[in-house]
Amino acid sequence: RDPPSMSDAKQVAEKKAGEGAIELVCKWGKREMILKVQKDDTVGTIRRMMEEMTNVPAKRQKLIGLRSRKSRKLDDAVAVSSLVLKGPLPKFKMIGVPEADAFVDRDEADMPDIINDLDYDYDYKAEQAAPLIEDPENRKKLEAALAKLDINIINPPRPGKKLLVLDLDYTLFDMKSTAENFNELKRPYSDYLLTELYPHYDIVIWSQTSWKWLEIKLTELGFLTNAHYKICFVLDKTCMFSVSSKQKDGTMRKHQVKALGVVWGKFKDRWTHKNTIHIDDLSRNFALNPQSGLKIKAYRKAHKNRAKDKELMLLTRYLKLIALEDDFSKLDHHSWKDYLLKAAESEDVS
């Protein structure tokens, strides 16, 4: 009998591999793709396969629906055999932007899990922000952003309501941790905050993300369909522009900003610095309007911190209290928790 040829050996190998293959369905945007993996392949293998199929770099992929049997953390080294796979054709979702379309703030992309805010972020006060606000180049950028801004109103603004601008990633949602579904990454009290504040504020979400992925996140988190509150409109990364800020060591650092001037310019008779507040986990985002900004603690490591995170519960209390104020610009949002303590003491006395 003739010895097997190289082509025969290849066919046998492929058949053997096929027999042990596991098919996974990945949904990316509107596309669904089938991946064939082996039990001894890893999450890293899946990421590399997805990178080849979508051009989304592995390090920027967010996988939803894949979970390890042994650990809450989905490391790249986790074997396929250790994943919880349901049904004959297990499905998961991937969120990520192709390399060619990526808007990357390099600082953000390389940001560690634990940030030294004193080194990285900027604690703006009005006097420190003045040079940025008055800078002719920044004024031109603001005018250009305002001119090109086309707001898609989801729910019309209501007469007499103040404006609440909310960041999404790390403010309402832990974007870095892995989970079986989005609700596991949703910050505690998110819906409570939005429900309680809706009678007092029109609500806007502003995220440094492309609209395509922002819409997916908001839909999966249920923010666009909740019966107890309505989002007025959503702004994405295209409404932002860059400025250069001076760090504590005197060096300049370029970063993106969410300039509320673009919103105020579109709604001149409705919202100003007197009735607008912007909530974010990075104060550098409100560098051009620091007195309207309130920085909260970033929500990370959802599985570890979900049970003890009360930041939005406290924030809700603060925002309900100041809703009675006529002029927000007279408030010091840096000391918002001190404001709560004083309010609690006054209630105790009365």
Would you tell me the crossing angle of helices 311-322 and 336-349 to the nearest 10 degrees?
70
Average pLDDT per run of 10 along the chain, which is 350 residues long? Answer: 48 48 89 92 93 88 85 84 89 80 42 38 64 89 94 95 97 85 90 98 94 84 94 94 82 90 95 97 92 95 93 97 95 93 76
Q: How far apart are CA 28 and CA 92, in angstroms?
A: 9
**CB-CB neighbours of 13 under 10 Å:** 10
Going by the DSSP 8-state scheme, the letter that residue 173 receives in this structure is B
Could you give phi then psi for residue 279, rounded to 5 degrees?
Answer: -105, 130
Q: How far apart are CA 114 and CA 221, in angstroms?
A: 24
Q: How far apart are CA 103 and CA 296, in angstroms?
A: 24
Q: How far apart are CA 121 and CA 278, in angstroms?
A: 16
Q: How far apart are CA 297 and CA 280, in angstroms?
A: 9
Residue 195 forms beta bridges with which residues? none
Type and span of the H or E element at 279: strand 276-280
Q: What is the radius of gyration, based on Cα positions, of the chain? A: 24
Burial environment of residue 172 by CB neighbours within 10 A (0 to 12, 13 to 18, 19 or more): buried
DSSP alpha helix (H) spans, the chain? 6-19, 43-54, 106-109, 117-120, 126-134, 136-148, 190-197, 211-221, 261-266, 302-305, 311-322, 336-349
The pLDDT of residue 86 is 86
The pLDDT of residue 235 is 96
| Nearest partner of 68 among 89, 58, 82, judged by Cα | 82
